[in-house]
Amino acid sequence: MIRTVKQSLIVCVAALATAACGNPGKGGQTAEEVAEEMSALKLEAGQWEATTEILSASAPALPPEALRQMVGQKQTVSNCVTPEQAAKPSANFLAGQKNSDCTYQDFSMEGGRMSGTMTCTGSGMPGKMVMNMEGSYDPRSYDMNMSMEAGGLPGGMNMTVKARTTGRRVGTCA
């Protein structure tokens, strides 16, 4: 179970910070309002690579050794951003989850800085994840620090994770 939770969380962290798909957002901000904020991103189309590193993790129900193994783990994902996606990123660009339900609060992108809170369920991850994001962006890269609270995991476990994701355009799509 511990391995499954760790693997799911790492995949979820990476997915939250990368690809461009998902369901419309609901909550504190509408999907349209978040999409309007996302229009400030002005991405360059092409192949993008994002690396997420777990900086710290805590979960009272997990053995300390399991938590130590999580810290420092990196996952790199790659995706093609089409010219259409680059011109008009969707509200769920940062969610990157199929079959998920994400809500947004205080989402802002201005002057090369981004911040906000995203709450997601689904995508094979049990329970709910609340992620606070803050970082910087430009058309060819982004750097984001995230603090995540996951609740309702197997066995009623709760987990807190801090992570950093860096993304960059690496070339044209294959």
Token pair 């309702």 is found at 152
8-23 pLDDT per residue, tens: 444 444 444 433 333 3
pLDDT tens per residue across span 143-168: 999 999 988 877 778 899 999 999 99
Cα–Cα distance for residue pair 169/155, rounded to 1 Å = 40
**CB proximity list for 43: less than 8 A, separation 6 or greater:** 81, 85, 86, 89, 139, 169
Res. 98: pLDDT tops 60: no
Domain that holds residue 29: 2-171
Name the more confident of 40 and 50: 50
CA angle centred on 122, ends 109 and 87, rounded to 5°: 35
pLDDT for 171:
96
User: In total, how many domains does the chain have?
Assistant: 1
Spatial separation of the C-alpha atoms in residues 45 and 41, rounded to whole Å: 12
pLDDT band for position 126 (cuts 50, 70, 90): confident
pLDDT number for residue 172: 96
What are the strands, taking DSSP E only, across the chain? 46-58, 74-81, 100-110, 113-122, 125-138, 141-153, 157-171
169: tokens are 């355009």
Span 37-48, average pLDDT: 79
